[in-house]
Amino acid sequence: MKETLKPGIKYEHKFLVSLSKTVPALYPESEEFAAMPEVFATGFLVGLLEWACIKAINPYIDWPKEQTVGTHIDVSHQAASPPGCEVTVAVELLVIDGRKLVFSVEAHDGVDLISKGRHERFVINKQKFDIKISEKAKLI
């Protein structure tokens, strides 16, 4: 982590919702999801919030040697967004506790506030992480 990684870093990310990011596309294997409305899926929304946090701090870490992984998410999904909506995500780094990073996150679809909450990420050394996961995979 670079010395410039400090609380207060803000980032805004825009994303156009496509049909491939709606509930039926989340798990195509699921008959239940396939029958649901074609609106921005909560699972994809969570990924978008994570993506914005990653983009916010990558200039402040030794990317790609250092990366971050999501460790906690506590967000609302309070309005449905159909394909064609442009979602704007605003994030702010609130707290740095060792390698733990805490963000406030918010998303708006141009009509409604669709999400608000907090997200935590943890800074990892990619090489060490990959070795650990490789060892775990051998146990399966």
Catalytic residues: 42, 50, 77
Contacts of 123 (CB under 8 A, 6+ apart): 1, 61, 66, 67, 68, 99, 101
CB 48 within 8 A of CB 12: no
Buried b (16+ CB within 10 A) or exposed e, 22-55: bbbbbeeeeeebeeeeebbbeebbbebbbebbbe
CA 87/CA 58 separation, integer angstroms:
21
